[in-house]
Amino acid sequence: MIQIKRVYMQYSKEDGYRILVDRLWPRGLSKDKAHVDEWLKDIAPTDELRKWFNHEPEKYPEFRKKYEHELQDHKALLEEISKKAAHERVTLVYGAKDEEHNQAVVLAEVLNRKHH
């Protein structure tokens, strides 16, 4: 099972392997505080999609579709995360304030769907 967590929330050993899924490093966060094991910039939405979405909840359904489409080009990265998740807990971390409408939610859904 792949879980998600805001990168600004308290780090916990329960998080397991933490993968940052943002294209940009979270503002005001040191590498130490972030506790990121891996930063997968390339699995994040393209700059074009990120700027278009602009964290506007009403655009989320369309953003989800477009992002899932972009993820088709990253099958190897998705596979890499899935393999890791088969052996240990994986937490996708992200910087967005909105905990319901962000790329980590979509990514976790896509990855968890593949497992079932």
pTM: 0.95
pLDDT-derived band at 116, boundaries 50, 70, 90: low
Provide the pLDDT for residue 114. Answer: 76
Residue for token pair 């477009």: 66
Number of structural domains (the chain) is: 1
- Residues 41-92: tens digit of each pLDDT: 999 999 999 999 999 999 999 999 999 999 999 999 999 999 999 999 999 9
pLDDT computed for residue 15 by the predictor: 97
Domain span at residue 38 reads 2-115
Q: Which amino acid is at 8?
A: Y
What pLDDT does 76 receive?
97
Report residue 115 as tokens. Answer: 């497992």
**HEC profile of 14-30:** HHCEEEECCCCCCCCCC
pLDDT at 115: 61
